[in-house]
Amino acid sequence: MLFEFTIIVPVYNEEANLERLEKELLTFINSSKTATKVLFVNDGSTDGSQISITAICDRNPNFNFLLFDNNYGLSAALKAGFDYADTELVGYIDSDLQTSPKDFNLLLEHITNHELVTGVRTNRNDSFIKKTASATANRIRRKFTKDGIDDTGCPLKVIRTENAKRIPMFKGLHRFLPAMILLQGGRVKQISVQHFPRVAGTSKFGIGNRLLGPLSDCFVYLWMKKKYINYHVIDSKL
């Protein structure tokens, strides 16, 4: 089968969610018109996540994995996924199932005319503290990047792989993917998606990396924006 779309699934100590995630991903894959495969990126989990991932990949030939030797963080997991993707499109979803793989269909409807389509969690099922911290971080980031994105932390995105591979990744850049696509001259669209409460496992993000981390990363983004190289070749003889 010629695959068109790779879903990257970063995993860090999500053993309790992986069997449910497998079922949800298969439901999407079996109903989607876009030929899809899955790439788990195990970010140095210390629980039984890798045992579950290996079993899932053994029984599903279009599921694969990368296993890190240590915990490097979400941005590193996404970069690895971008580096190894060999399909025209690449997507991203968290393994906690607070967003649904079925909503990839909503994003894929718009990717033809855009380089990135991102979800927006319009009815978030998180605690007041989490929602307040995320809303504050989004306001700060929009002032720095002027990317117009309401919910850059939404873990449901579709990107053209050639654009994703050109993103110069750094720690924390997962919050700036739309802004980095805009720096390339790409087109970005946001679509409302479902959001669910976490039913298993524990969140890996607190106030520090929801609010303080994004603030410091904004200054890194401004430096990168000033130094960013972007060009378009209109003719060549190689």
- Model confidence pLDDT, tens digit, residues 125-176: 666 666 666 666 666 667 666 677 778 778 899 999 999 999 987 787 888 8
- Model confidence pLDDT, tens digit, residues 85-134: 999 999 999 998 899 999 999 999 999 999 999 999 887 666 666 666 66
Give all strands (DSSP E) within 46-160, no chain letters: 63-67, 89-93, 116-121, 156-160
- pLDDT value at residue 122: 81
87 φ/ψ sector (left φ>0, alpha ψ -120 to 50, else beta):
beta
- pLDDT value at residue 212: 60
What residue segments make up the domains of the chain, in order of their start? 5-227
Q: Given the DSSP bridges, would you call strands 116-121 and 188-193 parallel, antiparallel or unpaired?
A: parallel
Beta bridge partners of residue 37, listed in sequence order: 6
CATH number of 5-227: 3.90.550.10
- pLDDT value at residue 169: 79
**208-to-95, 199, 213 alpha-carbon distances in Å:** 21, 23, 6
0.75 cut: is pTM over it?
A: yes
Cβ pair 157, 91 in contact under 8 A: yes
Cβ pair 64, 87 in contact under 8 A: no
- Model confidence pLDDT, tens digit, residues 41-64: 999 999 999 999 999 999 999 999
